[in-house]
Structure 1
C-alpha cells in the first residue's frame, strides 16, 4: 500500500530545509538575523496590543524562526565545548 504525502509531512520537510539553511550560515549572520527577528517580534507584540496587527500568523512564524536560530546556536555551542568527563582518568 502506497503512503500518501500529507500536508503535515510536507511541512516537516520544509522546516528541516529551513534549519539546514540556518546551519550553513556563519555565526555573525545568525546573530544579525536573530536581532532583526527579535525587533520584529517586539513590534508585532505592540501592534497586537494596540489592535493594529493585520497578519496574526506572522507572530508565530517569527517566534519559531527565533527558536530555530537559538537551536542552531545552542548546537554549535555544545559542539565547541569539550565534553565534560570524557577522556579524563
Structure 2
C-alpha cells in the first residue's frame, strides 16, 4: 500500500468542517430572521383580534343597554295599562 497523507486528510477535514459550520450558521441566521418575522406577524394578528374583540364587546353592551331600555319602557306601559284598568274598575 502506498503511504497515506494524513496531514492532507486533516487539512481537508478541517476545511470541510469549517464549511459545514458556516453553512449551519447561515441556516440558523435565516431561521432566526424567519422566526422574527413570524413573531411580528403573530403579534399583529393578536393585536387585531384583541381590537375586534373589544369592538364586539362594545356592540354587545350597546345591544344589551337598548334591550334593557326597551324592556323598561314595556314595563312602564304595562304599569300604565294596569293603572288604567284599575281606574276603570273603580268607576264601575
TM-score range, shorter chain: 0.3 to 0.5
Q: TM-score, normalised by structure 1?
A: 0.34
Q: Give the number of the structure whose alpha-carbon radius of gyration is greater.
A: 2
Q: TM-score, normalised by structure 2?
A: 0.34
